[in-house]
Amino acid sequence: MRTALVVIVVTLLAPACARTQTSLVNFDHLERLTERIVVGGDSVAIVHVYANAPDYRWVDAKESGPEGIACVDDAGRAAVTYLRHYELTKSPSSLARAKELLRFVLKMQADDGRFNNFIFADHTINTTGTTSATSFGWWAARGVWGMAEGYRLMRTSDRGFAERLRRGIELSLPHVEKLTAKFGAVDSVSGFRIPRWLLYGSGADATTELTLGLLDYYAAAKSRRVKDMIEKFAEGFIVMQDGDASTFPYGLHRSWETMWHMWGNSQTAVLARAGRIFGKRSFTLSAEREAVGFYSRLLVQGFLTEMDLAKPGKNKVFDQIAYGVRPMTLGLLRLFDATGKREYLVMAGLAGSWFFGNNPAGLPMYDPGTGRCYDGIRDSVTINRNSGAESTVEALLTLIELEHYPDAVKYVYYRKTAVADRENLHCALFRNGGGEELTLVLDTKSASLLVLEGPKSAAFRAGMKDP
Q: Which of 227, 210, 214 is nearest to 151 (CA)?
A: 214
Q: Is the dihedral of CA 246, 251, 256, 261 positive or negative?
A: negative
Please say whether the beta carbons of 109 and 168 come within 8 A. yes
* Domains of the chain as residue ranges with CATH: 6-463 (1.50.10.10)
Q: Where are the beta strands (DSSP E) in 106-249?
A: 118-119, 186-189, 192-195
Determine contact, residues 1/423, Cβ cutoff 8 Å.
yes
How far apart (Å, rounded) are the C-alpha atoms in residues 57 and 128?
27
What distance in Å separates the CA atoms of residue 191 and residue 256, rounded to the nearest whole number? 14
Contact at 8 Å (CB) between 258 and 192? yes
Rounded distance between C-alpha atoms, residue 339 and residue 247, angstroms: 24
- In tens, the pLDDT along 342-375 reads 999 999 999 999 999 999 999 999 999 999 999 9
List % helix, strand, coil for the chain (3-state, nearest 5): 45, 20, 35
- Which residues lie across from 441 on neighbouring strands? 427, 450
Q: Which amino acid is at 58?
A: W
User: 10, 13, 52: which is closest to 29 by C-alpha?
Assistant: 52
Please write down the HEC assignment for all residues of 350-372.
HHHHHHECCCCCCCECEECCCCE
Instruction: Please say whether the beta carbons of 229 and 177 come within 8 A.
Output: yes
Q: Which of 383, 330, 384 is nearest to 361 (CA)?
A: 383
Tens digit of each residue's pLDDT, the chain (467 residues): 334 444 343 334 344 333 345 899 999 999 999 999 998 889 999 999 999 999 999 999 987 778 999 999 999 999 999 999 999 999 999 999 999 999 999 999 999 999 999 999 999 999 999 999 999 999 999 999 999 999 999 999 999 999 999 999 999 999 999 999 999 999 999 999 999 999 999 999 999 999 999 999 999 999 999 999 999 999 999 999 999 999 999 999 999 999 999 999 999 999 999 999 999 999 999 999 999 999 999 999 999 999 999 998 889 999 999 999 999 999 999 999 999 999 999 999 999 999 999 999 999 999 999 999 999 999 999 999 999 999 999 999 999 999 999 999 999 999 999 999 888 999 999 999 999 999 999 999 999 999 999 999 999 988 876 43
pLDDT tens digits, one per residue of 237-263: 999 999 999 999 999 999 999 999 999
**pLDDT tens column, 415-430:** 999 999 888 999 999 9
Distance set, CA 322 to CA 148, 355, 399 (Å): 23, 8, 11
Name the strands in the sheet holding 437-443, side by side, starting at the edge strand that comes first in the sequence. 6-7, 415-421, 425-431, 437-443, 448-453
